[in-house]
Structure 1
Amino acid sequence: MSVWNKILHWLGLEGRTHIKIYHGIGGVEQLEIFGHVLDRGPAPRMHYSRFPLFNMMALLRLFMVKPREGAKVELIWEGKTVSAVTESDGFFHMQWVPETMPEPGDHVVEVMIKNVEESPVTRAVGVVIIPHRSQFGCISDIDDTFLVSHSASFLKRLHVLFTRNAHTRKPFEGVVNHYQLLSDVTNKDRLPRPFFYVSSSEWNLYAYIREFCRMNGLPEGVFLLNQLKPLHLLLKSGQQKHGTKFPRITRILKHYPHMRFILLGDDSQQDPHIYEAITKHFTSQIIAVYLRHVRNSRYAATQEVVDVITGRGIPCCYFKHSSEAIAHSKELGLIV
């Protein structure tokens, strides 16, 4: 290991070219998985602390990234090679059509970088999740939907982001119970209902959010996040490109045309308008919409959107406490 890489290691950074894999999805005809190739990025976090300075440094590391453009990545599926090349931000998206679609469940794949010197970090294992066709799915926002984030307040949002971590941040009261009931995770006779987490948060925060979900017992799922950000744009984390949520949700709905979905979001930013547009274009695929009320100044405008959605025959619950959402789901027969 070079002196520079030793310094990066001491700082909690991986200085070798490495690959990060995120959960992939399998639909009617094709499978896909995605990830990043980085020349520098955060090493996996092993220790958590309540000390604010420690948490601040840990957050900064997540944005000390150097993407690698033009890296060739490959996986082998049933003896055939699937390949892709990374974009300018290091992102890759692999899609392939298998000869026969696998059974529903989790399917492990190994992805490797081909045009760099091989090392233990140039290959990684990921999972392609194929839901059962008879199930409905859930598409959820993250910030201020289940994770208390104060998205509407710049200073509060930064205070939480910089001083806390995946182990010390809190979900809204009752939201974990609601999501567990929707996923039917306790039913051992069938696969849990699939969850898709679509957020304006960047891929930099993927491991952070997954660890938060694991710690709090939220359903395992597929994450579709926003473009990787460099360190100098950290203060704008989660505050841009809300409009990209619409095509990401659309992609899920088109990927699973046989499935119906529940949409879960909040009124702190653009979820009401995005979900209204989704219900307009995919009316028959949406079972219900849930919007958490966290911003008083948005109440009247959001209530108008709720009325539009319910006017299309889609139940829409605009709630302040998760107990209201749970009661609503029980009334619809979505949970027991």
Structure 2
Amino acid sequence: MDYKILGKCFSLNLPKDQNELFQMPIKKISLTTLYFIKSNFSKGLLWIGLKTGLIDKVMILPFKGFGNENEIYFLGRVLKERGIVNSSLEDGPWKNFKKMYKRFMSWEIPGVKIKASFQHIEQTVITDEEGYFCVHLKSPHPFSIDAPWQEIRLELLDPVVKNQEQVTAVNKVFIPYKNVEYGVISDIDDTIVPTGATRLLTMLKTTFLGNAHTRLPFPGVADFYQALAKGNDGIESNPFFYVSSSPWNLYDFLVEFLEVHSIPKGPLMLRDLGLSREQFIAGSHWEHKLRQVEKIFEIEKNLQFILIGDSGQHDPEIYLQVVKDFPERVKIIYIRDIKTSRQTKLLAIEKELKNLGVPMLLIKDTGEAAAHAAAQGWIPEAAIGQVQAAAEEP
């Protein structure tokens, strides 16, 4: 990496035509100015970090992906090594806060090349200004698949710090293999785990002071999701995909949360909350979730899906649009009813979905969803009792 270039970048690159800038609407002026300030501040901070040695080691953080027999898709990020280890039940609020601080106060590495290698193909991609990269491998010949989870090798091709050793990572991607009956796409916040997503202070407290052990899922979720993963044949082969408006900074936290509570692993589709040229927050909740769900539908083109969400943050509206865009691909929509003031709207969506041939079930607890899934033959009858017993636990 050229330190001189980074140093030169530490200047406010406002539009050359200042008259054009001042002719913009006030809101546009504010957003444009803030974006350039933010962008150049980040570049300057990175330059200082590299020159002073505050950034002495970098890492590739890949996010689990998915694919089919001819293509693979996933995202990742290049960051300063953060040194975050898994949490324990004994960790207190201060220790949890320090880990969360490291997740959000990260040093991103822009403009470096990453090589992805899988079987007979390779792809080289470049990180954007927030350190993100996207790998979308496409092959004219089918991949050789002997298991649902495949490993992709990643290598950083550019030097970032002095005396840098080889920087590599291995990512895992899901490719449908055998005995797949359906896929499951689930929201996380207030669907799997209570977060108070509709109450800002509650959400911030639970996010920054808790950890993967102290944050508890809704009763019965783990048992129900395990039953869905196994399906009616009892073989754990049905894939899970998690779509959330939580930031990518929480990725490792959420992966650990799923593992600790025995919730089926799967790709997580999160979002960047950074300031962009067009928006104060990069993408609205609606746009982000719809785009990610439909990306899954596009790549997993041979699967039908069960969609799971909650009534608090427009999951029903998003899933309705998915049903319209992908007819005959959705088996059922389960919506955890968190009792908002949107009941009239929910009933209207339920009626519209019914006319499209897709039922939407508003559920009060996970046991109700399990009973319905068993009645449809998607999970065995024997699973109902276990899920309902867990759902009734205090």
TM-score, normalising length: structure 2:
0.75
1:327 matches 2:368: no
Q: CA deviation at 1:151?
A: 0.6
Q: Does 2:317 align with 1:277? A: no
Structure number with greater Rg is 2
- Cα 1:253–1:92 shift into 2, 3 Å: same
| Number of equivalent positions | 321
Which residue in 2 is equivalent to 1:233? Answer: none
* SS of 1:307 mapped into structure 2: helix
* Deviation of the 1:301 alpha carbon: 2.0
Please give the secondary structure, in 1, of the residue aligned with 2:287: helix
Note the C-alpha offset of 1:227: 1.3
Give the aligned residue type for 1:112. E
Q: Superposition pairs for residues 248-327 of structure 1, below 5 Å?
A: 248-327=292-371
Structure-2 separation of matches of 1:262 and 1:147: 18
Which of 81, 102, 105 aligns to 2:148? It is 105
Structure 2 residue ranges without an equivalent (≥5): 1-48, 381-394
Say which is worse superposed, 48-57 or 200-209, in terms of deviation.
48-57
Counterpart of 1:43 in structure 2 is 83
- Report deviation, 1:215: 0.5
| 8 Å CA contact 1:200, 1:238 repeated in 2 | no
Indicate if the aligned counterparts of 1:50 and 1:168 stay in contact, CA closer than 8 A. no
Alignment-derived partner of residue 169 in structure 1:
215
SS in 2 for 1:67: coil
Q: Structure 1 or 2: larger strand share? A: 1
Report the Cα offset of residue 255 of structure 1.
0.7
| Cα RMSD after superposing both structures | 2.7
Cα distance in 2, alignment partners of residues 29 and 94 from structure 1 = 14
Q: Distance in 1 between matches of 2:174 and 2:242?
A: 14
The alpha carbon displacement at 1:123 in A equals 0.9
* Deviation for aligned residue 1:299: 2.6
Tell me whether 1:192 sits opposite 2:252 in the alignment. Answer: no
Deviation at residue 28 of structure 1 after TM alignment? 4.4
Q: Is 1:213 the counterpart of 2:258 in the alignment?
A: yes
> 1:216-253 CA deviation, whole Å, 9 max, x = no partner?
000010111101659xxxxx999953321111111111
Give the structure 2 partner of residue 66 of structure 1. Answer: 107
Q: Which runs of 5+ in 1 are unaligned?
A: 231-235
> Counterparts of 1:46 and 1:170 in 2: how far apart (Å)?
16
Task: Tell me by how many angstroms 1:17 deviates.
Answer: 2.3
Q: For residues 239 and 87 of structure 2, what CA distance do their matches in structure 1 show? A: 30
The one-character-per-residue Cα deviations of 1:135-157 (angstroms, maximum 9, x if unpaired) are: 31001111001011111111111
TM-score by length of 1: 0.87
1:300 positional shift: 2.8
Deviation at 1:107, TM superposition (A): 1.2
Cα distance in structure 1, aligned partners of 2:115 and 2:193:
35
**Partner SS, residue 367 of structure 2:** helix
Q: Which residue of 2 aligns with 1:245?
A: 289
SS at match of 1:35: strand
Distance apart, 1:8 and its partner CA: 9.8
Cα deviation for residue 177 of structure 1 reads 1.1
Name the CA distance, whole Å, in 1 between partners of 2:375 and 2:281.
Answer: 37
Q: Distance in 1 between matches of 2:251 and 2:195?
A: 16
Q: Aligned residue for 2:7?
A: none
Between the aligned partners of 2:371 and 2:165, the Cα distance in structure 1 is 49
User: Residue in 1 aligned with 2:67?
Assistant: 26
Return closer, same or farther for 1:202/1:223 CA change in 2, 3 Å cut-off.
same
Cα deviation, 1:146-195, whole Å, max 9, x if unaligned, reads 0111111111111211221111001001111111111118967x452000
Query: SS in structure 2 opposite 1:42?
Result: coil
State the Cα distance separating 1:50 from its structure 2 match.
Answer: 4.2
Whether the 8 Å contact between 1:19 and 1:121 is mirrored in structure 2 is no
Match of 1:94 among 124, 128, 135: 135
| Kept after mapping to 2: 8 A contact 1:23/1:127 | yes
